Structure 1
Amino acid sequence: MVPWLGPEDPFPSVERSLGMNSGAPGLLAASADLLPSRLVDAYRHGIFPWYSDGQPVLWWSPDPRMILRPDEFKVSPSLKKTLRRVLRDDAWEIRVDDDFAAVMRACANAPRRGQRGTWITTEVIDAYLTLHRIGDAHSIEAWCDGARVGGLYGVSLGTMFFGESMFASVTDASKIALAALVAHLRRHCVALIDCQQNTAHLASLGGHEIARKAFIAHVRATVDAPRIPWRFDKRVLADLVGSGGAVPAA
């Protein structure tokens, strides 16, 4: 049985998560609250929340775990062409933390194949906004002609980044934001991005599964490292496309 956590109860060991033969592989615990302090504690232990409106807060730690290593990010020829265009065209910008709440709302409203509704409720937005205010959550945003057209958000602890959700209102805008994030993380020796769940889209970009044991070991080794800086712009994309896409430094 999945344990119910009271306000002061610690998370159980991730090894107690439901197995692959259960109806909810990776489900670890449930609670009534989504306190920011519990949320940070969850990430520090390789656990994340995911639930639907009207459900209790459900906490997960699946085995295996989907990850993306920045050094293994796949830049297809078409994406490389797009990134070079973004670097050359002054209409395109990458902004960091311009409006974190707006990015979360856009992710909540993004259509998902095979899904109805969203888990990114007002309660969830409020909790992650608290993490954003204390410097533990960030948004990376793709802008074109003065409009936010794509982006993503996630949690950053030490040299570990936990990706949460992406959106795009124009083709490839979320990939542009992800590419900028990857390039920034490479520069600061961040070796792994948590992607939580296996999807074909992430696999096409270089994501793959690793054993939960290895994932947890990496989290423990990185979350207490000094914070990396969170100020960058689209020029980081030049790291992914070579000299053909370079732009002059400011």
Structure 2
Amino acid sequence: MWTTLWPLPALLAWGAAWGTWLAGRTVGMSDTLALVLATVTGVVFSLLGGSVWRKLMMALGFPVSWLLAHGGAVSANISWWLLPLGLFLWLYPPASWRDAPLYPTPHDAFEGLREHVPLPLAGRVLDAGCGLGDGLIALERAYPDVHLHGVERSTPLRWLCALRCRWAQVRGGDLWADDWSGYDMVYLFQRPETMPRALEKAARELQEGAWLASLEFEATEWVATMVWTCPDDRPLWLYQAPLVRKDTVKADQP
């Protein structure tokens, strides 16, 4: 559904609010009435937000930007909004809107995990959608003797990640097009609606014995091999190949 393609709902809310304001001014409304109608438009669109924080961002986007535009002098200042919009799209390209936003992994998230999920010495671990590299930092602390890799679609995030994690191989690319078959573990910090796609990909590509690790979010249609509790009490859902679907298990029961 399009409402899950964040930040598309926010962009539509802000665009609709600005469109309402400009339309109101075009037909001769006062600044006050146009401002009220545009703000209400943003609030109505904010109902499509999936969380309280998203709804607030969608609702407040217009009034905040209106104030920054010096009381509505948009005709003189609208070009200034193209620069931040361009930077935003560079940072967060539309092709990645189906994926999770930037969710930093706590650096101590995997302390003690190695005792429960040992990996081969000099094994290969991928942070799929590595962002700024916090997941790679956490993985390096837990598995200092493996080869760490990161793939990130956003160019500026990839550059910053490579600077922070010089000991890892960070490259640009689409985590969904990347080949996971050569890794002993693939780590994800995605969103619930992308987990079915991730597990389907893992089931096709991971070699026997390899792991898919998902922080916080379970793939509800698949059997988890283990659920490990992180130091901050968040669950790490672990699936070891060959992956098993829950409906397959039920079908095999007498």
Shorter-chain TM-score range: under 0.3
TM-score of the two chains, using structure 2 as the length reference? 0.23
Higher helix share: 2
TM-score of the two chains, using structure 1 as the length reference? 0.24
Structure number with larger C-alpha Rg:
2
Q: Which has the higher contact order (CA 8 A, sep 6+)?
A: 1
Higher strand share: 1
